[in-house]
Chain A
Amino acid sequence: MIQCKTSKEIGGMGHSLKRKEDARFIQGKGHYVDDIKLDGMLYMDIVRSPYAYAKIKKINIEKALKVPGVAAVVTGRDLEKYKLHWMPTLMGDTQMVLPTDTVMYQSQEVAAVIATSRYAAADGVDAVEVEYEVMKPVTDPFKALEKDAPVLRTDKPGKKDNHIWHWEVGDKAKTEALFKKAEVVVKENIYLPRIHVASIETCGCVADYDKVNNHLTMYMTTQAPHAIRTVIALVAGHVGLTEEKIRVISPDIGGGFGGKVPVYPGYVIAIAVSFLVGKPVKWIEDRSENLQADSFARDYHITAELAGTKSGKIQGVRFKVVADHGYSDSQAAPTKFPAGLFSIGTGSYDYDTAFMEADAVYTNKPPGGVAYRCSFRVTEAVHAIERITDKFAMEVKMDPAQLRMNNFIKKEQFPWKSPTGWTYDSGDYHAALKKAMDAVGYDALRKEQAERRKKGELMGIGISSFTEIVGAGPSKDFDILGIKMFDSAEIRVHPTGKAIARFGTKSQGQGHETTYAQIIAEELGIPAENIAVEEGDTDTAPYGLGTYASRSTPTAGAAAAVAARKLRDKARKIAAYLLEVSEADLEWEPGKFFVKGAPQKSKTIQEIVFAAYTNHPQGMEAGFEATHYYDPPNLTFPFGSYICVVDIDKETYEIKVRRFVAIDDCGNIINPMIVQGQVHGGLTQGIAPAMYEEFIYDEDGNILNGTFMDYLVPTAVESPHWETGHTITPSPHHPIGAKGVGESPTVGAPPAIANAIVDALTPLGITHLDIPITPYKIWKALKEKGVVKPVA
């Protein structure tokens, strides 16, 4: 049971408060980018390349210009005149806005058609004629690294290969020495394919440039409005659009999951066109454009090795990664972490030896490397460690739960220093796994499995005991384009004791309007329902880096608590003045200060706030407002243990997830209902890549499944009935002891599912399968092993 310090009326932390934002959404009154309609607005649609790699010989726009309603066609040559044809990526690489010479991936933007209606713009796109000289693309990152591979980024002077960067962490020599002498070494090649966040709302914007005032209002689907404003100023400052002349508004967002962090060419073209014609320009992606051209996630080729003893003690890991970034490194990761937080891959286990390295590669595929509801490459790392740990358990013939229990970092070892340099803040891994095992009935399931195996039935049980790393991040290490990754809160309490709070983050469904209000309610005793929360407008919100990587609660949530505490300190002074006692004589309970030993002598927070405007002590600043920019001292390390039970049809190899129990520990819980909702959603985005989603390219770089007909987003039928629970191990350094939770399930679920499926297939000789694991993939693997034979 979660203990609440505040009453239900106040609705502070721990209450399952119903969400404040829902009232508008259930009535169709959400306000998304495509709902915006401005006077004189033009519509933009984009001509895209059918080829993965080709020279543009000619773009003929004559026919398109004759289409009724078409106002203009913009090409890379047009943007070149303003030096807007290239832009920087968030990782300091460069990316084309529109090409002048060469297209580098299928569905790349080639030209933009501007028209008076959506329909006319589409007709215009149909009428643009492009002549290409098709070249042979490089789609395999390993081939791209070969000596004689054609150099793709010929735009980069002196670039002689397709290598982007090398990253490594850990003690290489010590690790090599361990692996030489270790009793047991297991190894697996693990590939996490390209996937796509596929939020149900695609990306889009309305760029509204006012020529008279030289001012741009940019309504767009962005998870990080302030960072975007700064990027626009960096890209377009030379044409006079400096930061104070730019207002970025992120209205309601129909799901983000990392896909709405980057700056896509469409946004920049819309701004450029609006700037040139002085009219608002709307650009809304189609789903196929969204899937085929927007930033992907994963595409990590991992070689994972684990060393240990025959008795089952894990002693060290070694990971080697080849990261396919497509034609530009346009991932959204902190500057110092080109492989994101992959170094969390040492996992939940107690050992002191690790070495990890990654090499990033250019290919003729869409650029990117964003998260998919995960904190910077954590999913990749967790998948590798949890898969290889299962393989190790298999090798030493130990139950995977027992092996984990034997190797977990113990509760009393926290804060724990990992061999890759992190300091895990807190954890109780044994408790989480124990709870999951009890809830699922682990021992009974293993007995049932043994019985079923005797009958030739395929039943599997899989565990994942993951450690997440979220809340980027401490400014000493974390920045994006040089901007430190703090976040902010500003609280204004009105004379009548009601408040508005503004944040640098941006909810895309996470429920900030409710949870931030609860944090402030907890600290100030003002009922959450009296606290309006606002985000997403750079003109009004304090600067912040936005919402992704489960960072909102760890950073902006902390900022809310600290700002509220500043106000409580002020309230104490006012209360002492009003009650004519010294501050030291006052005690606080949520909602009021009272005199020690005389609880009838008290002032409510509402009375105190009113006094701040009507009767404040001489010499004190009037009003009741506070702002805080929170720079976290450390990251937070949520964790959990998941257990998945599957039954596999022994002829069709259809996989049925019979049970899935998820125990999460995200520290103190602000709103149990919302935390649970986040876990449910994350789990479905965990089963998605585990069993359904991946992009498939042919060798010519054609994407073979670029629509929802073949990119298989799970429905309610594929998604099982999730069973969830929690343990609570507060973060010792976070003001409210919270850790962040939105992504844990996406990170933790895939290895639990993969481990369960492999466990089911162990009697047939299967020791590993890459995700997504489908009936077809199982059948092929069994065919290779000679277990099934083609019909003859």
Chain B
Amino acid sequence: MEKEITVTINGTAHTVKVEPRLLLVHLIRENLNMTGTHIGCDTSNCGACTVLMDGKAVKSCTILAVQANGKSITTVEGLATAEGLHPIQEGFKENHALHCGFCTPGMMLRAVELLKHNPNPTEEEIRWGISGNLCRCTGYNNIVKAIQYAGAKMRGDKLPSTEPQFV
């Protein structure tokens, strides 16, 4: 039996009728056509589907759309504003923190939540903080750098160098 739900996504309220079994990620991608949120596994391991639900990073492939009723969701499409890119987006771009781009939206959204709780995380804290997001391309070094860069930008500190460092 279909349920009517209202989910606010990136500030816009959507009232839709859905099957209870519809996964939140499919509501976002299929019903509402926002395809920036990706699916990478079946078992809640990869984090490609990460979105913010009421500010908390969650795996939208393991949440029913009906569970998001009345909640506010932020997807990658909601990160940038009229003023420009979100610091995390800038951080990823400036620090070569993405290759194929598939894990990037989920990785950035988790990073946003991480920085909210811990504005100046250590490398160790960042690595544990993104341990629910798999990246197969970058080897993570530059993702760490990107999150540190975004943190500095959000704190208003001097931005770290984005040049590659070699031994």
Interface residues, chain A, with chain B CB atoms under 8 Å away: 16, 18-19, 21-32, 34-35, 37, 118-119, 197-202, 252-257, 286-288, 435, 439, 508-511, 661, 663, 672-674, 676-685, 707-709, 713, 715-717, 719, 721-726
Contacts and interface: CB of A to CB of B under 8 A. Distances in A.
B166 A713 contact: no
Contacts of A708: 41-43, 45-46, 134
A69 to B, nearest CB: 12
Given A23-B93, A508-B100, A680 B139 contact: yes
B140 A26 contact: no
Contact of A28 (B46, B75, B103): B75
A26 B108 contact: yes
B96 interface: yes
Contacts of B134: 200, 708, 713, 715
Contacts of B136: 197-200, 255, 257, 681, 684-685, 713
Given A673-B96, A677-B142, A717-B131, A201 B38 contact: yes
A322 B105 CA distance: 42
Nearest to A36: B35
Contact of B89 (A18, A26, A254, A256): A26
Nearest to B30: A118
A527 B134 CA distance: 35
B126 interface: yes
A26 B37 CA distance: 11
Contact of A677 (B39, B40, B138): B138
B131 A707 contact: no
B127 A18 contact: no
Nearest to A675: B164
B22 to A, nearest CB: 8
B74 to A, nearest CB: 11
Contact of B43 (A18, A119, A678, A707): A707
Given A707-B43, A717-B131, A26 B93 contact: yes
Contact of B138 (A201, A663, A672, A681): A681
19 contacts: A25-B101, A25-B104, A28-B76, A28-B105, A30-B102, A118-B26, A119-B19, A200-B103, A252-B101, A257-B136, A287-B43, A287-B46, A676-B166, A684-B138, A707-B42, A709-B45, A713-B134, A716-B130, A721-B123
B12 interface: no
Contacts of A672: 164, 166
B65 interface: no
A201 B43 contact: no
Given A28-B76, A677-B96, 18 more contacts: A18-B96, A26-B104, A27-B80, A27-B85, A27-B89, A28-B34, A28-B37, A28-B77, A34-B29, A34-B39, A254-B103, A508-B100, A676-B164, A682-B139, A716-B127, A724-B166, A725-B166, A726-B166
Nearest to A663: B167
Contacts of B3: none
Contacts of A35: 29, 35
Contacts of B76: 26-28
B139 A722 contact: yes
B101 to A, nearest CB: 3
Q: Which of B48, B105, B134, B136 has the most CB of A within 10 A?
A: B136
B107 to A, nearest CB: 10
Contacts, number: 201
Contacts of A254: 38, 40, 100-103
Nearest to A287: B41
B103 to A, nearest CB: 5
Contacts of B126: 716
Nearest to B36: A28
B98 A25 contact: yes
A680 B140 CA distance: 7
Contacts of A674: 96
A715 to B, nearest CB: 4
Contact of A32 (B38, B45, B85): B38
Contacts of A684: 136, 138-140
A29 B36 contact: yes
Contacts of B137: 255, 509, 681
Contacts of B30: 118
B167 A724 contact: yes
A717 B139 contact: no
Contacts of A252: 100-101
B113 interface: no
A439 B131 contact: no
B166 A200 contact: no
Nearest to B144: A716
A723 B144 CA distance: 14
Given A25-B104, A30-B102, A200 B34 contact: no
B99 interface: yes
Q: Which of A31, A200, A257, A719 has the most CB of B within 10 A?
A: A200
A287 B130 CA distance: 20
B104 A201 contact: no
Given A25-B98, A30-B102, A199-B136, A722 B35 contact: no
Nearest to A291: B41
Contacts of B77: 27-28
Interface in B120-159: 123, 126-128, 130-144
Contacts of A439: 167
Contacts of B85: 26-27
Contacts of B143: 716
B110 to A, nearest CB: 11
Contacts of B22: 119
B135 A22 contact: no
A671 to B, nearest CB: 9
A293 B57 CA distance: 32
B36 A37 contact: no
A25 B105 CA distance: 8
Interface centre among A26, A29, A118, A684 (most CB of B within 10 A): A26
A440 to B, nearest CB: 8
Interface centre among B34, B108, B134, by most chain A C-beta atoms within 10 angstroms, is B134
B164 A18 contact: no
Contacts of A21: 101
Contacts of A681: 99, 136-139
Contacts of A511: 99
Contacts of A29: 36
Contacts of A680: 138-142
A680 B39 CA distance: 24
A201 B40 contact: yes
Contact of B128 (A31, A118, A676, A717): A717
A254 B39 CA distance: 11
A286 B128 CA distance: 27
Contacts of A34: 29, 35, 38-39
A722 B23 CA distance: 37
Nearest to A511: B99
Contacts of A26: 76, 85, 89, 92-93, 98, 101, 104, 108
A100 to B, nearest CB: 29
B83 interface: no
Given A202-B40, A724-B167, A509 B101 contact: yes
A437 to B, nearest CB: 11
A642 B94 CA distance: 27
A34 B33 CA distance: 11
Contacts of B98: 22, 25-26, 509
Contact of A707 (B41, B93, B108): B41
A672 B123 CA distance: 23
A79 B15 CA distance: 43
